[in-house]
Amino acid sequence: MSLTAVVLAAGLGTRMRSPMAKVLHPLLGRPMVRWIVDALQAQGANVVVVVHHHEDQVRAALAHAGVRFARQSAPRGTGDALLSALPELPDGGPVLVTAGDTPLLRPLSVARLLAEHRGQATVAAFEARDPVGYGRMVEGIGIVEEAACTPRQRLIRLVNSGFYVFDAAYLRRRLPTLQPHPPKDEYWLTDLVDAEAKVVSGFLEEEFLGVNDRAALAEARDILSRRINREWAAEGVEFDSLDHAVVEASVRLEPGARVGYGAVLRGTSHVGGDVGEQCVIVDTHIEAGAWVRAGSVCEGAIVRSGAIVGPLARLRPGARVESGAHVGNFCEVKNATIHSGAKVNHLSYVGDANIGAGSNFGAGAITCNYDGVRKHHTEVGAGVFIGTNVALVAPVSVGDGAIVGAGSVVGQDVPADAIAVGRPELKIHPGRAEKLRARKRAAKG
Ligand code: UD1
Ligand code: MG
Residue 218 has pLDDT above 80, yes or no: yes
Domain presence at residue 35: yes
Domain presence at residue 386: yes
Domain presence at residue 435: no
Which residues are found with C-beta within 5 Å of the ion, ligand 2? Answer: 210
Q: What's the CA gap between 302 and 285, in Å, rounded? A: 5
Last residue of a domain, one of 169, 195, 213: 213
Q: What's the CA gap between 313 and 307, in Å, rounded? A: 13
Q: What does the pLDDT read at residue 431?
A: 95
Across the range 4-8, mean pLDDT stands at: 98
Question: Residue 2 Cα, ligand 2 centroid: separation in angstroms?
Answer: 28
Residues 57-110 have pLDDT tens digits of 999 999 999 999 999 999 999 999 999 999 999 999 999 999 999 999 999 999
Question: Residue 208 Cα, ligand 2 centroid: separation in angstroms?
Answer: 10
Q: What does the pLDDT read at residue 1?
A: 64
Domain presence at residue 443: no
Domain presence at residue 228: yes
| 416 shares a domain with 402 | yes
| 219 shares a domain with 191 | no
Across the range 186-201, mean pLDDT stands at: 97
**b vs e for 155-164, b when ≥16 Cβ sit within 10 Å of the residue's Cβ?**
ebebbbbbbb
| 312 shares a domain with 232 | yes
Last residue of a domain, one of 157, 180, 213: 213
Domain presence at residue 109: yes
Ligand 1 in reach of 359 Cβ (< 6 A): no
Residue 201 has pLDDT above 80, yes or no: yes
| 390 shares a domain with 297 | yes
| 270 shares a domain with 183 | no
| 181 shares a domain with 107 | yes
Q: What does the pLDDT read at residue 202?
A: 92
> Which ligand 1 atom lies nearest to the CA of residue 8?
22
CATH number at residue 33: 3.90.550.10
Question: Residue 210 Cα, ligand 2 centroid: separation in angstroms?
Answer: 6
The secondary structure of the chain, three-state, reads CCEEEEEECCCCCHHHCCCCCHHHCEECCEEHHHHHHHHHHCCCEEEEEEEECEHHHHHHHCCCCCCEEEECCCCCCHHHHHHHCHHHCCCCCEEEEEECCCCCCCHHHHHHHHHHCCCCEEEEEEECCCCCCCCEEECCCEEECHHHCCHHHHCCCEEEEEEEEEEHHHHHHHHHHCCCECCCCECCHHHHCECCCEEECCCCHHHHCCCCCHHHHHHHHHHHHHHHHHHHHHCCCEECCCCCCEECCCCEECCCCEECCCCEEECCCEECCEECCCCEEECCEECCCCEECCCCEEECCEECCCCEECCCCEECCCCEECCCCEEEECCEEEEEEECCCCEEEECCEEEEEEECCCCEECCCCEEECECCCCECCEEECCCCEECCCCEEECCEEECCCCEECCCCEECCCECCCCEECCCCCCCCCCCCHHHHHHHHHHHHC
Q: What does the pLDDT read at residue 13?
A: 87
Residues 332-359 have pLDDT tens digits of 999 999 999 999 999 999 999 999 999 9
User: Is 346 in the active site?
Assistant: yes
- Specify the residue with its C-alpha closest to ligand 1, atom 37: 134
Residue 186 has pLDDT above 70, yes or no: yes
User: What are the φ/ψ torsions at residue 411 (nearest 5 degrees)?
Assistant: -110, 5
Number of separate domains in the chain? 2
| 250 shares a domain with 129 | no
| 38 shares a domain with 186 | yes
Q: What's the CA gap between 183 and 250, in Å, rounded? A: 45
Q: Which of 244, 346, 376, 377 is catalytic?
A: 346
Ligand 1 in reach of 50 Cβ (< 6 A): yes
Residues 375-407 have pLDDT tens digits of 999 999 999 999 999 999 999 999 999 999 999
- Specify the residue with its C-alpha closest to ligand 1, atom 20: 77
Whole-structure pTM over 0.85, yes or no? yes
State which residues form the domain around 244: 215-420
- Specify the residue with its C-alpha closest to ligand 1, atom 12: 134
Domain presence at residue 439: no
Give the mean pLDDT of the chain.
97
Ligand 1 in reach of 205 Cβ (< 6 A): no
| 408 shares a domain with 370 | yes
Ligand 1 in reach of 109 Cβ (< 6 A): no
| 228 shares a domain with 209 | no
- Specify the residue with its C-alpha closest to ligand 1, atom 36: 78
> Which ligand 1 atom lies nearest to the CA of residue 208?
14
| 220 shares a domain with 205 | no
> Which ligand 1 atom lies nearest to the CA of residue 51?
22
Q: What does the pLDDT read at residue 11?
A: 86
| 237 shares a domain with 176 | no
Judged by its nearest atom, the ligand closest to the C-alpha of residue 14 is 1
Q: What's the CA gap between 445 and 434, in Å, rounded? A: 17
Across the range 288-297, mean pLDDT stands at: 98
Pair 380, 403: CB distance under 8 Å: no
Q: What's the CA gap between 268 and 290, in Å, rounded? A: 18
